[in-house]
Amino acid sequence: MGGKIVVAADGSESGNRAVDLAAELSAKLGRDLCIVHVMLYGRPTAEFKHFAETEGLVESVADSASVRGGSRSASLHGLFASAADEVHTAKLTIALGEHVAATAKTRAEDAGGRNVTARTCVGDCADEILDVAEAEKAEMIVMGRRGLGRVREALLGSVSQKVLHHAPCAVVIVH
């Protein structure tokens, strides 16, 4: 085996722990690390709103030249509410997704991850993670057990459960 380690990053606490573990494994096993973030379209969940606001993402995105056009607002809800059209909303979503991926990449590099790359995707979270794992010829996928989704009662989140059942390689689920 000599494949990469793929880690799913969504900005959640569980996702951050997955990035930390994946970086540690990357360093210890001498495997390259690929971070994948699947962008959230539609109405962001309350957890994602809270994450974006606490991390100062709202100000960063609101100041970005790539999303100018809407009115500046003090909250993520205000930013999305100010999005007058789908193009502006898409720009906001892309900016948020790129920030999550870049933050995870820096975190992994700081933790010793080897040859860290980051990819952002759009689509079904589990399908996109599985597609990246296949394209990268991954020998391992690392991910949090629950991210920013709404399902809280399940032992595993729906995304981690689907990846676990369909992955072509080892899957490490981080609590």
Predicted TM-score of the model (pTM): 0.74
Cα–Cα dist 148/154, whole Å = 13
pLDDT in tens, the chain (175 residues): 568 999 999 988 889 999 999 999 999 999 999 999 998 665 455 555 666 666 666 666 666 545 555 455 556 666 555 545 567 777 777 888 899 999 999 999 999 999 999 999 988 999 999 999 999 999 999 999 865 544 444 445 688 899 999 999 999 999 8
Element spanning 121, H or E: strand 114-122
Instruction: List the Cα angle 55/60/62 in 5-degree steps.
Output: 120
Question: What domains can you pick out in the chain, each with its CATH number?
Answer: 5-174 (3.40.50.620)
What's the gap between Cα 153 and its chain centre? 22
